[in-house]
Structures are given as C-alpha cells and as structure tokens.
C-alpha cells in the first residue's frame, strides 16, 4: 500500500510539473481584437494588462478588422487569443458562410466575454423611420472581414434587405461616426457593449444631429428570426444623453477563442485571473458590466461549441 501511495504521489507531482512546464512554453500572448473604436480593442488591452501584472507571460492586444480576420489570425498562429462573435465561430467551425470550404476546427472557447449590442445610428431629420427605409441610403456597413459587416447584414434582414439594397460604405466604426457627423452618410449600425462612450461623445459633438433608432417589436423579432444568431435586447432609458425612452435592438455574444493546443495550465490561469479580477476589468471598460463567469456554463451549454480543457477545468470549480 505504501508503494502504491508513493506511486500516486509521484504521478500527481509529475502531472503538476508537466502542466507548469506546458504553461511555461508560451512566453507571449497576443490577443486579436477589432478596430480601436469598438469594445473589443479596449477589452483586449484590459485583459493583456491583467496578464502582464499577474502572470509570468507577456501579453498585448492587437487591433484587427474584427471577428472574421481573427479566425485567420488564430489559424495562422499570429494570435493565441482572439475575441470573436458567436456566429463567426460557428460558421468557421462548420465551414459555412464566409468560411465555405475552409473550416477551421482547431480552436476552442476560453470563455464568453460580454454582450455586444447593435446601435443603429441615423441622422436626425432623415427619412429613415423604419428598417425598410434604409433601402437606397448611404450606409456604413463595416470593414471587410469584420463582425460589424455581418451584424449589418443581420439588421438589414429584419426588413428583408441585403447589402445590395444600400449604398454600402465599407468603413470602420470610428470612420462611420465621423462620416455621420459630417453628413457624408445617412446611417450606420455600430456595435459595442453598453454604454458605448464613443457614440455618446459623437452625439454630443454633433449637437443632437445623431439619433439612435429604436426598432419596433416586429422588426426586432424579424432580425432575431432571420439572422438566426442575434438576440433581442433593450437599452434602458437614460443610458445615453437625451435618451428618455428605452431602445429596442438586438445583440450577440462575444467569445474569447484560443487554439485547441494552448497549454491547459495557461488557459486555466488566465480564466482564474479574469474571474478573480472581474472588478478590475469592469473599471477598465464598461463593456465588462456583462462579464460574469458564473453564467458561463449555461451559456456554453446553449452554444454547444468546444470548450478548452483548461477553461473547463476552471469552470467545473464554480
């Protein structure tokens, strides 16, 4: 029996040493995000700072075109963490949509990050009174390879429209807000956590010329059903300046994805750190107000996507 116990202890120690060595194999964590104007980039900065301050690896946040490009960055080993919206992950793993014939299955969920909300912004005084009225307008649809582009497609589907039905401007969110303020375009669907401080600043700078459109219940339902991946959400009254009423819109879940072979111990350590320092993350950026790992197991069960073993090991402790 003594020999058996010693063998068991030796096995546990060997496993611990192996896990530690495995985590040490990664010296640098590169987090792929999106354009600097949305919530992904500042979120990536906050997470990288957390890692730099607490773990023995270096981390940085990389701006990118967004979710679609981030899949490629993971696949090409140019990033080992990436923020990607849930529908893009599903399409990439199934080889559908943008990823037709080029599925990428060697990634796994580290955790759900936060809810991203569609803000449909139009010029005050425009003729846009419904989603159907967007037809023929000058509309910022997001940069190629971005999740914003896919979100615009989803919103337009609520009125049975496509990108071909608008005068599409393939620009990022910062450029879209500037173009709106300057009267160059008629509207845009910009995506962020709530509140979206850059949008609030743009509205204030425009002197009331920018309005956040509220969908009708029927439009909201149509977007959810036609897209198959958006969820209904209500922006509470007074979230933004001069917004006395709630705004009906849609949202989706942003996920942190990692390569399937990311060291298990490193994934565990990062997730444990993010859970323990949730308050720090929330102070860093308002989008983290919906970051809650206690809800992650239920969210992941609904998504039915592969979860990284290190993440699963940590989430099993909750």
Same domain, 87 and 182: no
Tokens of 87: 């529908």
| pLDDT at site 208 | 84
Domains of the chain: total:
2
**Number of Cβ within a 10 Å radius of residue 201:** 12
Same domain, 59 and 150: no
Same domain, 25 and 141: no
pLDDT in tens, the chain (318 residues): 444 343 333 333 333 333 333 444 789 999 999 988 778 999 999 999 999 999 999 999 999 989 999 999 999 999 999 999 999 999 999 999 889 999 999 999 999 998 889 999 999 888 999 999 999 999 999 988 788 999 999 999 999 999 999 999 999 898 999 999 999 999 999 998 888 889 999 999 988 899 999 999 999 999 999 998 999 999 999 999 989 999 999 999 999 999 999 999 999 999 999 999 999 999 998 889 889 999 899 889 888 899 999 999 999 988
| pLDDT at site 21 | 37
Q: Of 221, 252, 283, which one is at a domain's C-terminal end?
A: 252
Same domain, 167 and 230: yes
| pLDDT at site 10 | 38
The CATH number that applies at residue 179 is 3.40.190.10
Same domain, 134 and 246: yes
| pLDDT at site 12 | 37
| pLDDT at site 38 | 79
Q: Of 207, 223, 252, which one is at a domain's C-terminal end?
A: 252
Same domain, 18 and 52: yes
Same domain, 124 and 13: no
Q: Which residue range(s) make up the domain with 127?
A: 116-252
- Alpha-helix residue ranges (DSSP H) falling in the chain: 2-24, 40-54, 67-75, 86-94, 147-157, 173-181, 197-205, 217-227, 264-276, 278-284, 296-303, 309-315
Same domain, 136 and 104: no
Same domain, 162 and 223: yes
Rounded distance between C-alpha atoms, residue 191 and residue 40, angstroms:
10
Same domain, 49 and 154: no
Same domain, 120 and 240: yes
Rounded distance between C-alpha atoms, residue 278 and residue 93, angstroms:
29
Same domain, 147 and 104: no
């Amino acid at each position: 029996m003594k020999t058996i116990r010693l063998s068991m202890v030796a096995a546990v120690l060997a496993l611990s040493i192996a896990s530690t060595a495995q985590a040490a194999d990664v010296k640098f964590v590169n987090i792929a995000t999106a354009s600097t104007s949305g919530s992904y980039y500042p979120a990536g900065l906050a997470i990288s700072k957390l890692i730099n301050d607490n773990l023995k690896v270096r981390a940085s946040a990389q701006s990118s075109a967004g979710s679609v490009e981030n899949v490629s960055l993971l696949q090409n080993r140019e990033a080992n963490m990436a923020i990607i919206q849930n529908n893009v992950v599903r399409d990439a793993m199934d080889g559908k949509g943008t990823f037709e014939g080029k599925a990428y299955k060697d990634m796994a969920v580290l955790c759900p990050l936060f809810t991203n909300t569609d803000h449909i912004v139009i010029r005050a005084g425009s003729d846009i009174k419904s989603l159907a009225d967007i037809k023929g307008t000058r509309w910022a649809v997001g940069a190629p390879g971005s999740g914003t582009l896919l979100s615009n497609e989803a919103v337009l589907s609520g009125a049975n429209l496509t990108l071909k039905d608008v005068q599409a401007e393939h620009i990022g969110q910062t450029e879209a807000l500037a173009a709106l303020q300057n009267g160059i375009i008629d509207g845009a669907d910009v995506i962020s956590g709530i509140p979206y401080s850059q949008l609030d600043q743009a509205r204030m700078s425009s002197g009331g010329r920018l309005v956040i459109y509220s969908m009708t219940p029927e439009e909201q339902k149509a977007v959810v059903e036609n897209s198959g991946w958006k969820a209904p959400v209500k922006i509470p009254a007074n979230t933004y300046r001069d917004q006395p009423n709630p705004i009906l819109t849609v949202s989706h879940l942003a996920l942190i994805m990692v390569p399937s072979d990311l060291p298990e111990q490193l994934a565990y350590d990062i997730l444990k750190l993010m859970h323990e320092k949730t308050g720090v993350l929330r102070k860093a950026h308002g989008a983290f107000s919906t970051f809650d790992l206690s809800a992650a197991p239920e969210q992941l069960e609904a998504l039915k996507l592969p979860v990284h073993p290190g993440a699963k090991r940590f989430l099993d402790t909750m």
